[in-house]
Each structure stands twice: as C-alpha cells, then as structure tokens.
A and B are shown apart, each in its own frame.
Chain A
Amino acid sequence: MYAFEFHRATSVEEAAALLAKTQGKLLAGGQSLVGAMKLRLSSPSSVIDLGGIAELRGIRKEKNAIVIGATTRHAEVAASPEVRKAIPALATLAEGIGDRQVRNMGTLGGSLANNDPAADYPAGVLGLGATVRTNKRAIAADDFFRGMYETALGDDEIITAVSFPIPRRAAYLKFRNPASRFALVGVFVADTGTGVRVAVTGAAPCVFRVTDMEAAFTKSFTPDAIKSVRVDPGKLNSDIHASAEYRAHLIGVLAARAVAQAAK
C-alpha cells in the first residue's frame, strides 16, 4: 500500500464535495478497494470513507419495493426479515457473496459502483429491474451497468440507495469459480408480474440480460421453456476456468434450475 490521505465524511454532501476536490476514491466496505491498494494495483491519493454517514445505511419497505441503503452490509441484507420475506432470492444472493468476513464488511453500493464482472449484486439489481438512487438522480438498472468496471455514475456521484421492486417470484443461482468462488456464471431470474427478467453475471465483461430466455419464460415459467434457446458464446468470457461455450451452456442450465426453484 502507498501512503494516502484519509477523509471521513459525515454527510453525502460532504463526501461529494471531498470527492470533487480530491479526485479520491470512495471507501464503503473496502472489500475490493483495500485489497487492490494493498497489492499496489490501486493507488488513490485520497480515500473518502462513507462509513460514518448514517443515512446511507438501512433497509426499509417503500410501497411495493424494498429500499436498501448503499452502505448496508451483505450480511445485513442476508439476515433482514423484510428482504427474506419480500425477495428471498435477494437475501440468498447476499448470503452467498464471498465469505463471512466479506459479508460483514462489503456493501451493496460498493459492489455496484465497482461493477466487478463476476459480482453477484449486479445480477440481482438488473434481474429485479431495480433503481439505483444517487445524490443526483435515479438510474434504472438497465442504464446503470455500462461495461467492465464501468457504470453510469458521474465523477462526483455517490450511490445512496437501491430500490428493488418486489417480484412475484425470483431465484438466483451461482456456479462458482473453483478458485476464487466468484460467480463463473450467476443467473438471476425474476417473474416481475409484468414479465420475466433474466440477468447473468460472471459470464461476460458486464452483467447482461438474456432476452430470448425472458420471452420464453414469460410465455411459460417452466425449466423446459428455454430448451431451444441457445446463448451465443460470442460475447462471453473465456479463461482458464471456463470457455465461452461452457459459460453459455451453464447459463442455460442455471436459468432452468433457477426457474424450477422460483416456481416451487
């Protein structure tokens, strides 16, 4: 780790001002940033800690949605009675992130802002058609994820909360990378009431939706509905753990199994 300046913001406004002034990095749970800094892969001159901003943390129900503050820990989401009741698939997703230590520190907003191609939350946010709230605006999930580690966030924009509409039923299944245990492929399927959304993480540079599967599942919410749907491996990742073809195959297997689970 290189030396850096540490700032602890007490409000979103202060954090945004510090961000604009220092061009630093926001620190939420630190589960990606701190590791990268220790390896000297990231060397921000300033780090602005959001941990002291109470308004960023918490879970509440708002009409037909669950709203989760940006610095809410994964473990809190996993254990939340509101989430478990309204969107059990989201609690399951949070419960499966990293390990116990990561879940006790890592945050929803940190995960989304980082947009790691193998992170779990992007699949949940995109799959549920959630809305990302920032200090400046509300961004639909479909507009938020722009590419590998790229989001729609502006330079001094800070995620404040995410609003997850409550689906009729949903499920998230993850096939883990045997080494890192990140998602080699993760599939979030949600029957929203107005249609089915299928979001895939881990398989490509950025989370994405599989519209052919969505159409098929909207017609029939059964595993067999996608039997003839083929995922094009052309845009998928290929690495030592999984070829694009294998990932494409796994998307189909996991999507079918997720529907079976959600339909239970």
Chain B
Amino acid sequence: MNAPNEVATGSLIGAAVRRKEDARFLTGSGRYTDDISLPGQTYACFVRSPHAHARIVKIDKSAALKAPGVLGVFTGDDLAADKVGSLPCGWLITDVNGQPMKEPPHPPLAQDKVRYVGDHVAVVIAETYWQAKDAAERLDIEYEPLPAVVDAVEALRPGAPVVHEQAPDNLCFRWSLGDKAATDAAFAKAHHVTKLDIVNNRLIPNAIEPRAALAHYSRAEDAYTLYVANQNPHVERLLMTAFVLGVPEHKMRVIAPDVGGGFGSKIFLYPEETVITWASKKINRPIKWTAERAEAFLSDAHGRDHHTHAELALDKDGKFLGLRVKTIANLGAYLSTFGSSVPTYLYGTLLAGQYTTPAIYVEVDAVFTNTAPVDAYRGAGRPEATYVVERLVSTAAREMGIDQAEIRRRNFITKFPYQTPVALTYDTGDYNACLEGAMKLADVAGFPKRRAEAEKRGKLRGLGYSTYIEACGLAPSNIAGALGARAGLFEVGEIRVNPTGTVTVFTGSHSHGQGHETTFAQVVASRLGIPIENVDVVHGDTGRIPFGMGTYGSRSIAVGGAAIMKALDKIEAKGKKIAAHLLEAAESDIEFKDGVFRVAGTDKSIPFAQIALAAYVPHNYPLDKLEPGLNETAFYDPTNFTFPAGAHICEVEVDPETGEVDIVNFTAVDDFGNVINPMIVEGQVHGGIAQGIGQALLEHAIYDKESGQLVTGSYMDYALPRADDLPTFKVDTRATPCTHNPLGVKGCGEAGAIGAPPAVIEAIIDALAPLGVKDIPMPATPQAVWRAIQEAKGRAAA
C-alpha cells in the first residue's frame, strides 16, 4: 500500500485558499433538496390562510380528494387525531414577575383558527405538484374572518384583537435586564440626555434557495429519512421526533444537503417538513415540497420588527452614565423555534456596545400579532441592539458638539476582561485600533474636500460611524441553560483518519454558503501537516455525524472549529503513542510538527501517514495498551461567548431634490480574532454589509393594517439590494485573538449586517444635518429621505 505523498504544507491558517466547494457550485453540480428525487415520489401543496385572523368554520375535502392524481388531503384535525404535537419553542423566557412566558400551541396545521396570512390550513398530496395545486384550489374552506392586528404597539392597546386566548393582552412576556435603580440614579445626575424613538424595520430573509423538504418513510425499517434545507439537522430531528411526532429519535435520519443560504431562516422547525414527514407514512410514499417564492415571503420566519424608546445619559464631557431602553418586539402569530431568545438574551445583553456605560436597564415586551412568526435573521437581536446604541451615541455627539470618533474614544472599553452591566464578560478587544484603521481606510481626513466638491454639484455628502460589538460563538451550555435555553450549545467534531493518511472530518456545523468545507479543511491540514486535498469535510447528515447543534450566530469556526481542534488533540496524542512504539522511544519524548512525529533532539522520525497505516494495519503495534484505528470524536462546549467587534464608516451622497441616497464609500475594519481564510472572511463581510445596507435603505416587510395582508409579498414591492445599489467595499481586519478557544477565533458571519445599518443612517443624517434633519427612519428610501427634508424645511419655515 502506498501512502499519499507527504508534502510539508506549512501553515494554511491565514491563507486565502480557494473554496473546495466552488468546483461543484460553479459547475451546477451542487445537490440541493429539490434536486433529490426518490422512487415513487409525490408532491405536496400547502393550502394557506388568505385571512390574517379567522375561525375555520368548515373544511370540505370531498372535491379535492376526487381531483386527478390526489393521494391525500390532510388538515389540523387529522394531525390532532394522530396526536401530532405543537411545534416547540427552544428558549423559555421568565418574565419580570418570575413567571414563564405564555406558550400558546403552534399546531403544524391550524386547528380552529388561522392567525396570519399564509398560516397552514391543509396539505394536498398528489402524483405531481400541479395536480396537488389544482386540487388545493378545490378544497372548500369556510372562514369566519376576525379582526386582526399586525403592529406590535397596536396589539398592546386595550381592546386590540386577541391572537391567542392564552395571552389575552397579546403579551407573551415582559422581560428585563440590568439594574433599574442604578440606571435611574445615573439619569438623575446626567448633564445631557439623548432620546430616540426607533423602529427596527421588519425584514424577510430571502435565501436564494427557497425552503424545501423531501420526506420518506421506510416500512421495512420503520424509519424516516428527511432531506430538508436546514442549518442544523440534528436539532431539526430532535425537535421533530421528540416534541412533535413522537417518533423515536433513532428512527429518523435528517439530511441537510447543499443549502442555498439560510441567514437564520432555516434554523427553525417549520410546519411544512413536519407535516410531510408525518404524511409520508400515511400515504407510504416519499413526499416532496418546495416553497414557491410567494410562500417564502409569507411563511419564512421574518426578522427584526422592534419599536424602541431609548435614552442615553451623559456627563458634561460626553462620558456615558446610563442607558435606558424600552422595546416592543413583534413575535408574530406563533413562537418560532428561537423567537423568544432574539429580542431578549441576544439583544439586551449587547446594549453595552463597546462602551463603559456603567448602568443599563432594558425592558422588552414581546407581543403576538397576526403576522408571520419572527425569529433569528442574520445578526438576530444584535443588529437591533447595535442600532439602538450607535444611533444614540452618534445623536448625542451631534447634540453635544463632540466629534463622532472622539465621543467613542472617550467611552471605549480598554481594559479586559470587562464585565458589562448586562451579563456579558468581554474577553478581549481593541476598539480604537479598528476605529483608527477604518478612519484611515475611509480617508476621513479628506472628507471635507469631498463634501465641498459634492456641494458644487448640488449633492450633500455625509459620514456615518458605527462601532459595533456582537456576542457570537453560542454558547456556554450551562449559562444558556440558566437563562432558559432548552438545548445545549456545544459542537461536535470527528476526525476519521483513513489507513492511507487521508482524513474525513465530520462536523456538526452546517455550511450553507459559509465555506466550511475549505476553512475546516485548512484547520485540519495545517494541524496534521498534510495537503488540504487530503482532507474532506462532511456535514449536514444525522446518519453520518455523531451529533451537532448546527450553524447560526457566527458560531461555526469558534465552536465547531474548536471541537475539531479538540478531536485533533486526541489524534495527535494517540499518534504520539503509536510513534513512541515504532520509534522505540518514550512517549514524552515524541514531538509532532509539520506532519512528522519525531523523537525530540534526534533525526528519528516517522510521517503522519505511516502512523495512520500502523493504526489500521497493527502488525507492529502496542495492542496490549492501545486500540487500533485512528478515529477521534470531541464535543466542545465553549467557556464564554466570543466578541467580534469593529468600526464601519459609511459615506453617502444625497440628492436633496429626489431624496436618493448613493453610498459612495463603505469601510469596515473588523476584529474577528485570528482569521483562517481571509478571502472567505471578506466574502462574509461583503454579504453581511449588503444585507445591512438592504435593511438601511431598501428592505421593509409591510402588512396592511386593516386587512393584515402582506403588502410586500413579492420582489415587485420588497426591495432587495442589487449589485448596483452597493459600492466597492473597503474592508480590513485587526486581530485580538479570542482568549478562550483553541483557534483564537471569534466568527464573522453576521458582522456586516450588525454594523452597517447605523453607519448608513447616520451618514444620511450627517449629510442632511445642514438642512435641519435630525432623524430618518429605516429603510431610508428616496421618499423617506425626501419627506425628512420637507419636514425639516417646514420646521425651519415655522
């Protein structure tokens, strides 16, 4: 047997290695859920509520059942008869009075009532999708429409329509964090108080691949296989089997194959895949469902949707004394899988930002409305927190006449570890380094000249700053558990060294655009000193991977990568034992470097591949002391969150006649700790900023207040950023390595979406400040900007 060539690769950490997965993606060889077909496959079409709120009086299936090709028509009653449970919420929030949040049932198909436009009423299964769709139109459903409420602020008003009887005031919970008395005291001694009312606009995730699932029940094995576009297949399986279907967990395999983007929206357990999994046994045929784009708009979990009043207390020098925040968060019609954690522990805990604000108090009312469920969307709570903090800081600087960079410098945390007043302990950071770097890269010094030049052309230029922080690398399980998480938040890595020395890595993280197949391979190849071509990464399959918590919250490299490193520790330790035996040396004398085990201080050595071969062909092997094989698994539970941070500077040019905003420069200098692959990191930052700019300028999910219909239900009305909406980004990094994980990494997936929105909005306000504009809502569409200008002119004239 020939071992593969042992090439000293040097360290691949920090190298812009081209993505291994791109060969298949760029040649159309990716394999997404909808690309997979099984013999005897059927198709599902979901019948959705046309009403925002209605009682289901009667469903007559007879005509639909008689339609050509139809194999089954199922409603909420059929699921209830089979004791199919409610879709669970993964995070229990305890309210200000120590009471658990209200958890009204979330049946996969509606029972008695529908609660939002797009809510799931029935499923029709037929031989072809078009037959299912035709039959769905023949389903006779009688509704009794009820008054609906789509706005969270309205939903709290007395007399508002009640979404769930279990929450008669529509309040799921009122939650708080921080020291109220200390915060009030800080405001009492304030020299200046800045106040803002902020709406964080509701967004629709819009992954390029719509949600899809293919469920198969095998009578022979009495077991299910579910292919699903999902970010965390083990969690999907656990929730669906244990909490909803009552199927034994080992009787279901969940495979999340290539997934075309998630942004959070594919974390959750949704009704569709649950229903078709259940129904696949009913009709004893595989069932496929792929969302149409219109269904994605209606039924993917939406993001953000906060109404906030926030106040910042400052002393005469612009030092922050206290921060007081009251937020009303829209949860939608049902508690989605992590819907309760987003406006609480992923939001309130980030309100310290990068600053030494000594007293912070936040109160959140989480509210049911007749809208699609709201859950994590790229950033999940942290963009909302950053928007509150950074808008307050920039507004305070303007009000007090302090330079935007200077007010930040005066308040930056500089000593680490730093315990914030909102539960987190920042391990490390250098906020000034990012700010200085960004100011240089953005050529802030040359801005006055550019502004003057623009003015000559009738355009107004402005600069906006955002120095954000996020908590990533979710999460220490014990801390999360104490705060209400109903799951562990560790990650799993398995290193399978094959007899020839090639390596297959099994990770519980899931890649749906992030490039794990490359980044994780770089980590493994570097550590073992083998060529990256000899390492393949497998993810997204409960049948192949020991366990996993999946990908969200920029956790993959920080938690999944750390699990891989822990497994590599075990590989190295066992390799040393084998090497000691083969080299007839003491184990403590063996060192491992550049893919070679060596007796320290000698030229006696043995390459990694030969150790692998010895482990699988154990002829000369310490079998009395050591098992054959070289295959190690590790579970890694982080000891703290990671805290990526950075400085974003946006430069805009506004056309004051039309209100059009042109982003002429966007600069981001981020601290993600150590960077494994700078090219992939840059791509992640670009994508994040694009979504952040999308939120700031373009995207807005709007429900009609009267009818509860989704007005922005297609790309005709929902504005996604296009390439020509964006400038060429200037990005760079600074590194303060994370102190508590083996790679010193922090995560980079959400940073752009978190940092960008306040920088964009502040740049517009800066541009329009000479006209008297003090605030601008998101998204800052041309109309919104034009209106703000008109209002400012009106005020000036009055």
Interface residues of A (CB under 8 A from B): 39, 175, 178-180, 182, 240-243, 246, 249-250, 253
Contacts and interface: CB of A to CB of B under 8 A. Distances in A.
Contacts of A39: 294
Contacts of B715: 179-180
Nearest to A242: B783
Contacts of A253: 657-658
B716 A180 contact: yes
Interface in B688-736: 697-698, 700, 702, 711-712, 715-720
Nearest to B658: A253
Contact of A180 (B717, B786, B787): B717
B724 to A, nearest CB: 10
B782 interface: yes
A210 B493 CA distance: 69
B657 A246 contact: no
Contacts, number: 39
B781 interface: yes
Contacts of A249: 786
Contacts of A242: 783
A182 B720 CA distance: 14
A241 B787 CA distance: 12
Interface string B771-782: 000000000011
Q: Is the interface of A mostly helix, strand, loop or mixed?
A: loop
Nearest to B704: A240
Contacts of A240: 700, 702, 711-712, 717
Given A182-B716, A241-B717, 13 more contacts: A178-B697, A178-B781, A178-B782, A179-B698, A179-B716, A179-B720, A180-B715, A240-B700, A240-B702, A240-B712, A242-B783, A249-B786, A250-B658
A179 B719 contact: yes
Nearest to A179: B719
Interface core residue of A180, A243, A246, A250 (most chain B CB under 10 Å): A246
A243 B717 contact: no
A249 B719 CA distance: 22
A120 B661 CA distance: 23
A246 B787 contact: yes
Interface residues of B, number: 22
Contact of B717 (A179, A246, A250): A179
Contacts of B786: 246, 249
Nearest to A175: B658
A243 B781 CA distance: 12
Top 9 A-B residue pairs of the complex, sorted by shortest distance between their CB atoms:
A179-B719, A178-B719, A180-B716, A253-B657, A246-B783, A179-B717, A242-B783, A178-B698, A240-B702
A261 to B, nearest CB: 15
B554 to A, nearest CB: 29
A249 B787 CA distance: 11
B661 to A, nearest CB: 10
B783 A241 contact: yes
A200 to B, nearest CB: 15
Nearest to A118: B716
Nearest to B698: A178
Contacts of B711: 240
B718 A179 contact: yes
Interface in B644-676: 657-660
A180 B715 CA distance: 6
Contacts of A250: 658
B340 to A, nearest CB: 30
Contacts of A178: 697-698, 719, 781-782
Interface in B273-313: 294
Q: Is the interface of B mostly helix, strand, loop or mixed?
A: loop
B714 to A, nearest CB: 9
27 contacts: A39-B294, A175-B658, A175-B660, A178-B697, A178-B719, A178-B781, A178-B782, A179-B712, A179-B715, A179-B716, A179-B717, A179-B718, A179-B720, A180-B715, A180-B716, A180-B717, A182-B716, A240-B700, A240-B702, A240-B711, A240-B712, A243-B783, A246-B786, A246-B787, A250-B658, A253-B657, A253-B658
Nearest to B786: A246
A189 to B, nearest CB: 17
A3 to B, nearest CB: 9
B47 to A, nearest CB: 14
Nearest to B715: A179
A252 to B, nearest CB: 9
Contacts of B781: 178, 241
A105 B83 CA distance: 53
A179 B712 CA distance: 9
Contacts of A182: 716
A174 B176 CA distance: 49
A185 B94 CA distance: 51
A2 B657 CA distance: 46
Interface core residue of A179, A182, A246, A250 (most chain B CB under 10 Å): A179
Interface core residue of A240, A250, A253 (most chain B CB under 10 Å): A240
Contacts of A241: 717, 781, 783
A230 B697 CA distance: 29
A100 B700 CA distance: 26
A103 to B, nearest CB: 16
Contacts of B720: 179
A182 B714 CA distance: 14
A202 B798 CA distance: 33
Nearest to B784: A246
A240 B781 CA distance: 10
Nearest to B660: A175
A169 B657 CA distance: 25
A161 B712 CA distance: 37
B790 to A, nearest CB: 9
A242 B787 CA distance: 10
Interface core residue of B698, B719, B720 (most chain A CB under 10 Å): B719
A175 B785 CA distance: 15
Nearest to B292: A39
A5 to B, nearest CB: 17
Contacts of B697: 178
Contacts of B700: 240
Contacts of B782: 175, 178
A40 B659 CA distance: 37
A250 B659 CA distance: 10
A95 B27 CA distance: 31
A178 B715 CA distance: 10
A14 to B, nearest CB: 31
A175 B783 CA distance: 11
Contacts of A243: 783
A182 B719 CA distance: 12
B755 to A, nearest CB: 22
A241 B785 CA distance: 12
A7 B240 CA distance: 50
A122 to B, nearest CB: 18
A136 B658 CA distance: 43
A240 B712 CA distance: 9
Nearest to A38: B292
Contacts of B698: 178-179
A249 B786 CA distance: 10
A249 B659 CA distance: 11
A243 B783 CA distance: 8
